[in-house]
Homo-oligomer: A and B are copies of this chain.
Amino acid sequence: MTDSDIISNFLKSVDVKSNEKVFSEFQLVLKVLRYPKKQIVLKENQIGQFAYLIIEGAARSYYLHNGLEVHTWFSFEGEFIGSLRNHDGLPSRETVELLEDSILLSFDMMRIKELMKIFPEITNFIYPVINEYAQFLEDRLFYTHLKSAKEKYDALIAYQPQVLRRVPLTFIASYLGISRETLSRIRAK
């Protein structure tokens, strides 16, 4: 897939009904990035103005706590990396690192906000994206809240089965808040 294929696929998917002018302006704030495994997309405490959609690949998000990496989420195709707070000039609480060679679609949020002032109709196709993202967060919050290690593990598998296939056990254990030994034993049934 070429870069422009990726961009036009995305624009099709959000159902842009705006005029040609908006359409072409909007393309300019999108950029396709191809990064190798282990590339760091966002650093903890860093202020960034970009949102990234994973077109292909996977990423892990974590923060350092007493020198240890505590994982907060794993992202795959079709999911956004980076949090909304970044787009309001607040520093990132997490580091995001790619787990595989990946293709990302970056959104220059600064420029999108400026565009929104000029073409208010852009809101109409940003809105569903934010709305869906918020529902996605509600889901995560609900499943994250389950307490026993086994329940959280099962929920993660049910909700994101690819985690098991694509993420090292150590990271999953850190995400679930249990030791890797315990996770290893849970899996051994």
Residues of A within 8 A of B (CB): 70, 72, 83-85, 88, 93, 120-121, 123-124, 126-127, 130-131, 133-135, 137-142, 144-145, 147, 177
8 sample A-B contacts, Cβ–Cβ < 8 Å, listed by A number: A83-B135, A88-B135, A123-B127, A130-B134, A134-B134, A134-B137, A137-B137, A137-B141
CB distance from A78 to the nearest CB of B (A): 17
CB distance from A156 to the nearest CB of B (A): 13
Task: Kindly list chain B residues whose C-beta atoms are within 8 Å of the C-beta of A126.
Answer: 127
* Number of identical protomers: 2
Task: Kindly list chain B residues whose C-beta atoms are within 8 Å of the C-beta of A127.
Answer: 123, 126-127, 130
> CA–CA, A142 to B72, complex, Å?
7
A144→B144 contact, CB < 8 A:
yes
> CA–CA, A102 to B88, complex, Å?
33
B72→A145 contact, CB < 8 A:
yes
B137→A70 contact, CB < 8 A:
no
> CA–CA, A131 to B177, complex, Å?
29
A135→B70 contact, CB < 8 A:
no
A134→B93 contact, CB < 8 A:
no
Whether A85 touches B135, Cβ cut-off 8 Å, given contacts A93-B142, A147-B177, is yes
CB distance from A176 to the nearest CB of B (A): 9
Task: Kindly list chain B residues whose C-beta atoms are within 8 Å of the C-beta of A124.
Answer: 120, 123
Whether A138 touches B85, Cβ cut-off 8 Å, given contacts A130-B130, A177-B147, is yes
Task: Kindly list chain B residues whose C-beta atoms are within 8 Å of the C-beta of A177.
Answer: 145, 147
Task: Kindly list chain B residues whose C-beta atoms are within 8 Å of the C-beta of A85.
Answer: 135, 138-139
B84→A145 contact, CB < 8 A:
no
Whether A140 touches B142, Cβ cut-off 8 Å, given contacts A121-B120, A124-B120, A127-B123, is no
